[in-house]
Amino acid sequence: MQAIWLALGLTAIISIAGLVYAEDILRIMGAENETISIGVTYTRIMMGGSLVIMLLFLINGIFRGAGDASMAMKSLMLANVCNIILCPLLINGLGPIPAFGLNGAAMATTIGRGIGVCFQLYHLFKGAGTIKIHRKNIHLELPIIKSIINIASPATLQFIIGSCSWIALARLVAETGHSTASAGYQTAIRVVIFFILPAWGLSNAAATLVGQNLGAKQPERAQESVLKTAKYSAIFMGIVSLIFLLGAPPIIGIFTNDVAVQDIAVQALRIITLGYIFYGVGMVMTSAFNGAGDSWTPTWINLFGFWLFQIPLAYLLAEHFGLGPTGVFIALPVSETAIAIAAYFLFKRGKWKTVKV
C-alpha cells in the first residue's frame, strides 16, 4: 500500500508536468513545429494518464512478489486486449464513435491500461488471492515509504541513466535527420525492444538464480548459473541478429508503408543488430549484479557506458563527422558491446559474491 501511495505522489508530478509542458517537452526532444502541432494533444493524454501506466506495472510487481504471477499475466492480457480493440475504433471511428486519429491511439492505450488497473485493484482490495489490502492498511506509513525509496533508488538510477541516454539519442536523430529519420529510428527501436523481451526474461531468471544460490551459500553455482544463462541469451540474440540482417525490409514493412521511413528504419535495425548478442549478455550480467544485491556496480557501468561514452560518441559521429542519424545508429552497438564486456569482466572478478544485503 505504501508503494502505491509513493507511485501516486510521483505520478501526480509527471502528469501535471506533461499536461502543462507537453509542447515544451516535444520541442526539447527536437520535434519540428508541424510535429509539435500534431503530437501535443497525444503527449498530454499519454503523460496525463501516466498514473495507470505506473500502477499497472507496480501492482503487477506486487502480485509477482507475492508469488501470484498468473494474476499479473491476466491483468496485462486484459489491458492489452482492450487496447488492441479500442485502437482501430478510436483512431478510425466506427458508427457513432468519432475518429480521433493519432489522439485515439493515446486514448485507447490509457483506457485499456486503466481497465487493467481496475481489474488489479479489485483483486487487491476485494479478491481472495495471495495478497489482500484491508482498510486498516490504507493509511500512510512514512518509515516504510523511506525504506522503499532506499531499496529502489539504485535500480531507479540505473533506469534513469539508460532512459536519459535513449532520450538524448532520439533528440540527436531528430536534429540531424528531422521527422523522417526520427520516425524510422523509433520504428526500428520498437522492433528491437520487442525481440529483446525473451532475453529480458532470461536476465530476470539470472537474478533469481543468483539470489537463490547465494542464499544457499553456493556462490560458485550462482556464477555458473549466470554464465550459462548468458550463453543461452547470446545464442538466442545471435539467431535474431541473422533474422534482422536478412529480413529487415519485410519486418519494417509491417509497421510503416512510408518508403523514406522504411529506408531509415531498415538501416537502423541492421546497424543496431550488430551488437545484439552483446545486448543479451549485458542484460544478464546487470541482472546478476542486482540479484546479488550489488546494485551500484551496474549503476556505475551504465553511467560511464551511456553518459560518458555512448552519448559523446553518437554526437561526435553525427555532428563532427557528418554522419547524421547513421552516426547515432553506429554508437548504439559500439557502446552496448563495451558495456557488456566491462560487465562481464567485473562479474568474473567476483566482488558481487561478498555483498551483504
**253 with 187: CB under 8 angstroms?**
no
- What three-state secondary structure class fits 97? strand
Strand partners, 276: none
DSSP for 239-296, written as a single string? HHHHHHHHHHHHHHHTT---HHHHHHHHHHHHHHHTTHHHHHHHHHHHHHHHHTT--H
* DSSP 8-state assignment for residue 135: G
Cell of 45: 493524454
Q: How confident is the model at residue 357 (pLDDT cuts 50, 70, 90)?
A: low
Question: Global pTM?
Answer: 0.75
Cell of 190: 520498437
Q: 82 φ, ψ to 5°?
A: -60, -40
Burial 96-129 (b: 16+ CB within 10 A, else e): eeeebeebbbbbbbbbbbbbbbebbbebbeebee
- Give the mean model confidence (pLDDT) for residues 92-99: 88
* H runs (alpha helix) in 66-141: 69-92, 102-125
Burial 139-150 (b: 16+ CB within 10 A, else e): eeeeeeeeeeee
pLDDT tens-place string over residues 160-199: 888 889 889 998 998 898 889 999 999 999 898 888 888 8
pLDDT tens-place string over residues 113-126: 999 999 999 988 88
Residue 83, pLDDT > 70, answer: yes
Q: Which residue has the cell 550462482?
A: 222
Cell of 313: 560518441
Q: At what angle do helices 33-48 and 50-65 cross, to 10 degrees?
A: 50
- Give the mean model confidence (pLDDT) for residues 299-309: 92
